[in-house]
Each structure stands twice: as C-alpha cells, then as structure tokens.
Copies of this chain bind each other. A is one copy, B any other.
Amino acid sequence: MIDEIQNFKNYLTQVITIDNKSFDMSIEYLKIERICKGEYFVKDGQVCSKIAYIHEGLFRIYYLKDGIEINTCFCNEDSITSSFNSFINHIPSNENIQALENSVVVTLSFENLEKLYLESPIWQTISRLLTEKECLRLSDRASSLSFESAMEKYKNLLKYQPEIIQRASVQHIASYIGVSRETLSRIRAKIG
C-alpha cells in the first residue's frame, strides 16, 4: 500500500479499530492530489464535495468579513480538512481552504463516502467519531476565544500547536487567535 493511503489508514486507526476488509473497500474511492503553496483546496462559492486527509503540508481555512480575511483553522499533516458546512449540506462554501505549503492529500468524495456508508456501517461510525472530535476542538477553541487575553491565547497556541507558530505567518496567526497583527507582534516581542 502506498504511503499516503497507509497514513490515512493509521489515522483512522487512532479513532477506531478498523478491519482490513472494511478499509480496503475505500481504496478504490480514494484519490491522491497535490496542492501547491498558495493554491486552494476549496474556494468561497464552490461546493466542497470532498474531504482531504493531509499526508503532507499545511492549510489554512479563512473567510472574508467586510473584505478582511478571518482565519478559522490551521490544518497540518495527519489531520482531515474540509469545508464542513458545504460538504455536509451540499451548499456553496463561505470558506477558503488554502495550502500554505506544498501539500499532498488523500481525498474522498461525498458521493463515495455515502457508498461506503451503505457498504459497511463502520464508515458511519468513523464519520460520527471524526465529527465528535471536531466538535471537541471547536468547543475548546470557542472557550479560548471567549475569555482568554491575547497573551494567553498565544501562549496556548505555543503550547498546543507550536508547529503552527513555526510554519504560519504572523498575520495569519493573529487572525486565528482573534487579535490584530500589531498586538501579536508586541506579544512576540515580550516573550521573545
């Protein structure tokens, strides 16, 4: 099995024990795609019809609010990215998913995922568990944004996602933690 697919399988194994047969039925549906730095996995206005397991690379999710980019998420290797609302409800995305580095992803279309749901109930369970995981992440994020100071939010990012600080730009990080880039600059100057 090629690396990309194997990694995807390992990722799922972290959430649930999946037998080879159930996983193998997905292989014909998976597609490997390369997305260069700066390019988009999903653009505002498109329907996001697939999810991507990131084998290698880094993405950011952002949307435009009064012409300003609001970063809502960074997704790095060994995680899954997609424009959630768009994917689930088949409506045009209001988000953009952009590669911040040259990336390699394994994609699975909604259409094929629904086939998997019918072929084996474990895919339902996988979907549910991954969604639950995302819920917990969002819940933590909401908590963090609601009452932490800019400094605390930055320190927590440093603690829990230090690789993002190495790999993403200051302006994107600032937007992600909900502060102006000048404020983030000053915080970085203090911490060193």
Binding site for B on A (CB under 8 A): 65, 70, 72, 84-85, 88, 117, 121, 124-125, 127-128, 131-132, 134-136, 138-139, 141-143, 145-147, 177-178
A33 to chain B minimum Cβ distance, whole angstroms, is 24
Q: How far is the CA of A128 from the CA of B183 in the complex (A)?
A: 39
A85 to chain B minimum Cβ distance, whole angstroms, is 6
B138 & A142 in contact (Cβ 8 Å cutoff): yes
A145 to chain B minimum Cβ distance, whole angstroms, is 4
Q: How far is the CA of A107 from the CA of B146 in the complex (A)?
A: 30
A146 & B145 in contact (Cβ 8 Å cutoff): yes
Could you say which residues of chain B place their CB within 8 Å of the CB of A142? 72, 138, 141-142, 145
Q: How far is the CA of A21 from the CA of B177 in the complex (A)?
A: 47
Across the interface, A131 reaches (CB within 8 A) one of B70, B72, B132, B145, namely: B132
